[in-house]
Structure 1
Amino acid sequence: MPDQVSERHEPGVESPAAGSEKPPPESWEQQPGVWARWRPLLLRLHFYGGMLAGPFILIAAVTGLLYTLTPQLDGIVFRDELTVDEYAPQTRTLADQIAAARTVYPEAPITSVKPPTVPSETTQIAFTTPEVPSDYTRTVFVNPYTAQVQGTLTTYGMWLPIRSWFDEMHRNLHLGVAGRYYSEVAASWLWVVALGGVAMWIARARRRGGKSLVLPDRAGTPKGSRNRILSWHGTVGIWIVVGLLGLSITGLTWSRFTGEHIEQLRAQLSWTTPSVTTTLPPADSRTGTPRELTAGADTVLHSARAAGLQPPMWMKPPAEPGDAWEVYERKRDFPTRFDAVAVDAGTGAITDESRFADWPLTAKLTGWAIDAHMGVLFGLANQIVLALLVIGLITVIVRGYRMWWKRRPTRGGWPTAPRRGVLTGLRPVEAVIAVAVLAAVGWVAPLFGATLGLFVLGDVVAGEVIRRRKRAAS
């Protein structure tokens, strides 16, 4: 609370004697303004997130930067598997190419077939095998002109080994399910730290002039001083805040706990990505449909092309006899293409279809945002912007720690933290709203709520220890 201001008393009215009962509390009209009341809470949350969740955010930023810089390496390192050196007038049938791939994994089920996108590419046939984790496949690369196997690699969806390695490093540090907690903590706190910092920086710029909002103060502060560091910390944060919010929101869609809540919300609002139904009508499943799950691949490819699908395409065989093939486009760079069809391999008939043009706008926006997060929506330009954004985030985090360290006493010791008891500076209804909002966010993002609770508990314990030491010393 702000320092009490001495009151004037009218002539003839006796002022309270020193040491008498405490003066009455301030009325709401006498309490500080809205920003003065809320700023300590935002500062405290910004401090919590920056100091304690900051390491998680920093790790996510560094691993994300490495992931952003590596996509082109796969094409260079695995050129022998991905490309062919000589063309022929015609390609071999998909059936021949699948048969060649089966010589490598005779008993393993096929999860997808990717025909070449351009004449110089190989055909990719992915198998589920026990030697790789459940989310991974062993992909066999077949020369489409000779039906000769050119190699096998472990892949993760569309990603080849190098990109999938850095992708998993970013997602879970190669620690499996337990490692996903770190990235969820980072994504849960990033938007809180960013928005709190922006609010405080805007308020500061209103006092100092609009120019200080977006340009660092290089002339008025000594180099290396805390004010100079703060100036760069705030202005860089302003420039990258929109990108940080996008990274935080899209990152949460992949998280373990918050991602489930987001998926439930999307389902209730009909924001989910449309898909095709591969179950065939009973009459069709009894006649004309082959029992061999990968049979009829050439018929399916011909029907998909006739339906307007274009490379890059993935063909997914039926999960069991009597189901249709699923064929879908995955052109993730802009302009995107995500049309999909279900094809009866026995007759070549299109049994269901999903057109990207008919997707709900929210589903399109979600897909575009995720692809931008992954650096694939706008190709190399997307990678460059993403790399600059992440580098900016790293500098903001490092400067935040530098500012904290410069708060330490001149005679040594640990730096101080923003004052405790920030809820007591709010009006009662405001305090209730603040607690309710934080509780709601903690329910949607459980790891945010859990870490915030641990931070508060540790803060309360630390405050009590400090108070007891002061009482003992006095």
Structure 2
Amino acid sequence: MSNTPSDVSVGAAPAAPPEPARGPVTVPRRSWSPTPLITRLHFYAGILVAPFLAVAALTGLAFVFTPQLDSLVYRDELRVAQVGDRANPVSAQVAAAVAAHPDGTLAAVLPAAAPDATTRVVFTMPELGERQHTVYVDPYTLRIRGTLVTWFGETPLMTWVDDLHRNLHLGAVGRVYSEVAASWLWVLVLGGLTLWLHRQWTARRRARRLLLPDLTARGVRRTRGWHASLGVWLAVGLLFLSATGLTWSRWAGANFSTALSTLRAHSPTMDTTLPDAAPPSPPSGAGHHEGAAGPGAVVDITAIDAVLRHAGAAGITGPIEVTVPAAAGQGWLVAENDRSWPVRLDRIVVDPDAGVVDRSDFADWPLLSQLSKLGVQAHMGYLFGLVNQILLAALAVGLLCVIVWGYRMWWQRRPLRADRRAPVGVPPARGGWRLLRRPLLLAGALSTVAVGVALPVLGVTLLGFLAVDLIVTAMRGRGGGPTPTMPIEGEPSTASPGNGRV
């Protein structure tokens, strides 16, 4: 029998098909573009931090218009029943408040700043801690319009909303939420801007597509257009809110204060000790009721009239707060507290007999201290009045819309194939850092460590995100088969076929 290829022995196994020729393995080239890494970071940070940002936006929106709510809720305390022809001396108003509130320690006086406003007389009480009792006096009739428990001048309503925004009424533990939101907001904004600019650049699109969504698009592309274009419009305002929010956060704020001390950029402290007085008392800050007439101190209430005359002659006018001396040998601290632009925040120390003995003008503060003060006032909606409030409200509503569209994109990217169906979209590809050039990778790692030290909550939560990423990847890997990933802008798609939404 001839030995030909057609000759096959009975019972022999069929020949295996020849293996396809293997080409050279393609090794991804390292790039200077951090887009893959930013895409994955933006995705995970957006999903995990967005709830914190949504709560901060909602509570901030509630706080913005509390001045108007105060005017309605506390109308009797804040306003007089009828404007009279002539107000009584401030010393008489204070005496009326002391008579109505004999148990407290007189701490500060805020004379009426408008013809229809009441004078606020502040008392400290040990059981109230940081809070005070504020008595509202009608300057014309000396009638007591009411008494409220206040916190650094804030009414109970404003204090409640303020605490809700800062810590969700959970104390020090709750402050973590707001610091998470402020720490990650700037990262999400800058990351989103980078990805959107990269997409428009690679697609060679006009600037109009950068600022306005493509209304002809459908599905996830349309949602992404709204998400990204609105984010561009909000970027500057959101970065401002992030920066100013961090300045008085718990851990990042402490680092910021340390930096100001190192740079000698804090606002000047006022020493209320009068010349030749003994023993000296520690310096007192402005506007926080540190000074008070202690139990053993005797305060001449009538001296406040002379103090106000000296203050007026020194140009300290408008809304002011007069802090009562805490002990003998100390002067009266008079501070402007007009927080609207142009701000008036000058301070003086007054001896009722000798006049002004010390002065600190806002114009002489270090620049960083000035910017920090103005930033806080704008963050709270005070600096530009109603315009400031409307802008903050627009930022809050806009941020909520961006968050909703972000989650909608996550849902729209979900795989639809029967064998890969999932309730939400898949994450971007892992390992973006491996594609970076080594100098860029080293610089990024060092920058991340530095930022993590300056913003500890950001650093800790970033480590948490990495842990979640590793756990999710490991769990998906146990299921067998490749882990589906979302395509990266400008990169070949690795999404499962049949999705039709990416």
The TM-score range, normalised by the shorter chain, is 0.7 to 0.9
* Structure 2: distance between partners of 1:364 and 1:217: 42
List aligned pairs for 1:300-339, cutoff 5 A.
Answer: 300-339=307-346
Q: Which residue of 2 aligns with 1:106?
A: 102
1:154 corresponds to which of 149, 154, 164: 149
| AA matched with 1:193 | L
User: Structure 1's 402 and 252: CA in aligned 2 closer, same or farther, altered over 3 A?
Assistant: same
1-structure distance, mates of 2:402, 2:310: 53
CA distance in 1, matches of 2:348, 2:377: 22
* 1:437 pairs with one of 436, 447, 471: 447
Provide Cα deviations, 1:333-389, integer angstroms capped at 9, x if missing partner.
Answer: 1111111101124x2421110112222333222222211111111111111111111
1:428 aligns with 2:438: yes
2:198 to 197, 203, 207: 203
Cα distance in 2, alignment partners of residues 69 and 84 from structure 1? 22
SS at match of 1:167: helix
CA contact (8 A) 1:376 1:382 kept: yes
Q: Which residue of 2 aligns with 1:164?
A: 159
Which digits, 9 at most, give the CA deviation of each residue in 1:132-166, with x for residues without a partner? 4x332221001122322110112222322222222
Structure-2 residue corresponding to 1:34: 32
Would the aligned equivalents of 1:294 and 1:318 in 2 still touch at CA under 8 Å? no
* Rg larger for: 2
Query: Is 1:453 the counterpart of 2:451 in the alignment?
Result: no
Other-structure match for 2:215: 218
Inter-partner Cα distance in structure 1 for 2:278 and 2:85: 36
Larger displacement relative to structure 2 (190-199 or 303-312): 303-312
- Match of 2:71? 75
Once residues 464 and 449 of structure 1 are traced to their aligned partners in structure 2, the CA distance between those partners, rounded to angstroms, is 23
The equivalent of 1:3 in structure 2 is: none
CA RMSD of aligned residues (A): 2.5
The alignment covers a number of residue pairs equal to 443
2:349 is matched with: 342
1:260 aligns with 2:254: yes
Match of residue 358 from structure 2? 352
Q: Match for residue 12 of structure 2?
A: none
User: 1:40: Cα distance to partner?
Assistant: 1.3
Q: Deviations over 1:388-416 (max 9, x none)?
A: 11111110011001101112111432421
Contact 2:413 2:425 in 1 (8 A): yes
1:56 aligns with 2:52: yes
The C-alpha deviation readout for 1:51-101, integer Å capped at 9, x for no partner, is: 101100110011111111332111122111112233444433333322222
Map 1:120-199; keep pairs closer than 5 Å. Answer: 120-132=116-128, 134-199=129-194
Letter in 2 for 1:83: R
* Alpha-carbon distance between aligned partners in 2 of 1:472 and 1:353, rounded to the nearest angstrom: 71
Query: CA deviation digits over 1:11-62, x for unaligned, max 9?
Result: xxxxxx9679x86967xxxx35422xx0111112211221101100110011
- CA distance in 2 between counterparts of 1:91 and 1:108 reads 25
- Please point out which of 230, 236, 243 is paired with 1:236: 230
1:109-142 CA-partner distances (Å, limit 9, x unpaired): 233210011222111011222454x332221001
Give the 3-state SS of the residue equivalent to 1:157 in structure 2.
coil
Determine if contact 1:299/1:348 at 8 Å carries over to the other structure.
Answer: no
Contact 1:275/1:340 (<8 A) preserved: no
Deviates more, 1:408-417 or 1:210-219: 408-417
Q: Write the letter of the residue equivalent to 2:210.
A: L
Q: Unaligned stretches of 5+ in structure 1?
A: 1-16
Equivalent position of 2:243 in the other structure: 249
Q: Give the drift of 1:283.
A: 4.2
Other structure's SS at 1:342 match: strand
CA–CA separation in structure 2 for the residues paired with 1:472 and 1:444? 38
Counterpart of 1:97, as a letter, is Q
What amino acid maps onto 1:437 in structure 2? S
Native 8 Å contact 2:31 2:435 kept in 1: no
Counterpart of 2:224, as a letter, is: L
Q: Which residue of 2 aligns with 1:91?
A: 87
Q: Does the 8 Å CA contact 2:189/2:238 hold for their aligned counterparts?
A: yes
1:464 aligns with 2:483: no
2:492 aligned partner: none
Equivalent residue letter for 2:240: G
Aligned to 1:274: 268
Residues 416, 472 of structure 1: alpha-carbon distance in 2 compared, 3 angstrom cutoff: closer
The normalised TM-score by structure 2 is 0.83
Closer/same/farther in 2, CA of residues 234 and 25 from structure 1, 3 Å limit: closer
Q: Structure 2 counterpart of 1:305, which letter?
A: G
Q: Which residue of 2 aligns with 1:417?
A: 427
Residues 342 and 353, structure 1, Cα contact 8 Å, conserved in 2? yes
Structure 2 CA distance for aligned equivalents of residues 107 and 80 of structure 1? 23
Which residue identity is paired with 2:401? T
Structure 2, unpaired ranges of 5+: 1-19, 281-292, 484-502
Q: Distance in 2 between matches of 1:282 and 1:72?
A: 47
Q: Are the counterparts in 2 of residues 294 and 317 from structure 1 also a CA contact under 8 Å?
A: no
